[in-house]
Chain A
């Protein structure tokens, strides 16, 4: 177990800049998710940490040990690949034992260790199977067992759940999280799925264009995104773009096509162009002819018309046009959701809205 420090990493593939000056410190025992669209550099970073690629510039430390010049087999990492990369010619048992055999452990020690790890990932009884005889979830757990069996300093996971169906994926998130906690192992988890990152990670690093745009705890990232790109990558967001028009108490005032609105935001927000980010679950709907709440509560009210609604089971996704061509997505409970064409008022608390400067 050890911390991971990435210092000014840069990597190009020919003309393509994969990583452009990436620095990050990951604490001992922490799980950091690298989140970003494809081609953002997250997998490249993981491969640099694993040693499958060498950085053009920068340094990588595991604890106080500098590893960027070391071959992969000397770094002591455990890695779970997106396609699992299980050895097809070896059984589950042999796959898991591979890393221990390479470390020349004694037979008895290997047997005990493999048995313990297979019990931990609940694969007892499948030791003699070949990977092609396993379900996706079993392959996934075999890959995890193989990565953990050597007690590596760091655990690297490259979209490990991408090939599983939705139900299993959700279950495996918690499973991976539990195992990582129990081992207290420092882990890097690459994904393009924001909900996966939210569930799993202590901190999420959002990567775009080979740089880290923001590193934060999931709640921070969701509620206080650094800019519009981060906001729209983590979760659904409505955006009101306008000009910064001063402050009122804790809130910023922003002049937008739907009038003057208020929202919280970072200290020293730069203007003049800013974006107000409104999460669908923070918006409430009221009937237009029955403004049922006193207007003195400080809530912002935006009148509009319902243009579309989609039934999602637990809630209804309502689209309200509040100005010409400006549609807000609102989450409403099915029994309260207005019909299409109805006039409504969209209301929100300025404290739940967040302003970011135009990038």
Chain B
């Protein structure tokens, strides 16, 4: 009993540590005062209105959404294919490939950003911009999909595919009717994390953002250099809300427990 209570207390402390900054940001966004201060001075939604009326912010917001959607789409396809290949055909190269596909997660993102910037400069002069951002974000999103799909594949029973083939399904029909529906939960949760990650990505965006191609975190960073008002907190709150919605929707549709149970 005492052990259980101690554990509950410890869990509470950890949650508080994780969640308090979020609470602070949300409270700061609802601050009626003119500066980013804590505790807030009165309650107001004026900074959200300010955010919604600021063209630079709304542009950046929409751009970030589009960027995250594209990067997620590419990362989901590539990450899923990579996971399938590594799980099934890579044989001796499997370990090396696994490290390779997860590498963007382990490298400091700023290094990935710098490396990509140098790489794109070597290709052509217009290294910063939408195309570079999409490629960069795809690369840093792939690990999330790769890992989520790999987990589901580890518990996948290959005889299901054989059964389908035996029943007359072509390899493609087998993938579409059997494999994909079964690993779908892993693919979807990988995609959700990819989306959240792309939407909040800073270091890579910092290197690759260009004129007319500024994701929201970069726009926010620029803003904070000159104005220290609660609009920044409002933007942060919008970000938090987005991530929460994506996670909840994914959880609701497919159940994120696949990520630690391996299967539904």
Q: Which residues of A contact B (CB under 8 A)?
A: 50-52, 71-73, 75-79, 81, 83, 85-89, 98-99, 102-103, 146-147, 150
Contact = CB atoms under 8 A, between A and B. Distances in A.
B6 interface: no
Contacts of B182: 87-89
A102 B170 CA distance: 8
13 contacts: A52-B165, A71-B165, A73-B166, A73-B170, A75-B166, A79-B166, A81-B159, A85-B157, A85-B159, A89-B181, A89-B182, A98-B164, A147-B166
A352 to B, nearest CB: 44
B167 A102 contact: yes
Contacts of A83: 157, 159
A146 B264 CA distance: 23
A5 B228 CA distance: 83
Nearest to B185: A89
> Which interface residue of B160, B163, B167, B170 has the most chain A CB atoms within 10 A?
B167
Contacts of B264: 88
Contact of A103 (B157, B159, B168, B181): B168
A-B pairs, 3 with minimum CB distance = A99-B167, A102-B168, A72-B165
Interface of B: 157, 159-160, 162-170, 173, 177-178, 181-182, 264
B91 to A, nearest CB: 11
Given A72-B166, A87-B182, A99-B168, 12 more contacts: A51-B166, A72-B165, A73-B165, A73-B169, A79-B163, A81-B159, A85-B160, A88-B264, A89-B181, A98-B164, A102-B164, A150-B167
A52 B162 contact: yes
Contacts of A150: 167-168
A85 B163 CA distance: 7
A81 B182 CA distance: 18
A50 B169 contact: no
Given A87-B178, A102-B173, A81 B163 contact: yes
A83 B167 CA distance: 16
Contacts of B169: 73, 98, 102
A87 B160 contact: yes
A50 B166 contact: yes
A78 B160 contact: no
Given A85-B157, A88-B264, A102-B173, A77 B178 contact: no
A87 B167 CA distance: 12
A150 B182 CA distance: 24
A110 to B, nearest CB: 13
A146 B162 contact: no
Contacts of A89: 181-182
A73 B181 contact: no
A78 B168 contact: no
Contacts of B178: 87
Contact of B167 (A52, A88, A146): A146
Nearest to B178: A87
Contacts of A52: 162, 165-166
B162 A85 contact: yes
A121 to B, nearest CB: 16
Nearest to A77: B166
Contacts of B164: 87, 98, 102
B24 to A, nearest CB: 43
Contacts of A86: 163
Contacts of B162: 50, 52, 72, 79, 81, 85
B168 A73 contact: yes
A86 B164 CA distance: 9
A219 to B, nearest CB: 33
B208 to A, nearest CB: 40
A68 B113 CA distance: 52
A103 B178 CA distance: 16
A72 B164 CA distance: 9
Contacts of A73: 165-170
A352 B129 CA distance: 90
A78 B157 contact: no
Contacts of A103: 168
A51 to B, nearest CB: 8
Nearest to A103: B168
A98 B165 CA distance: 11
B157 to A, nearest CB: 7
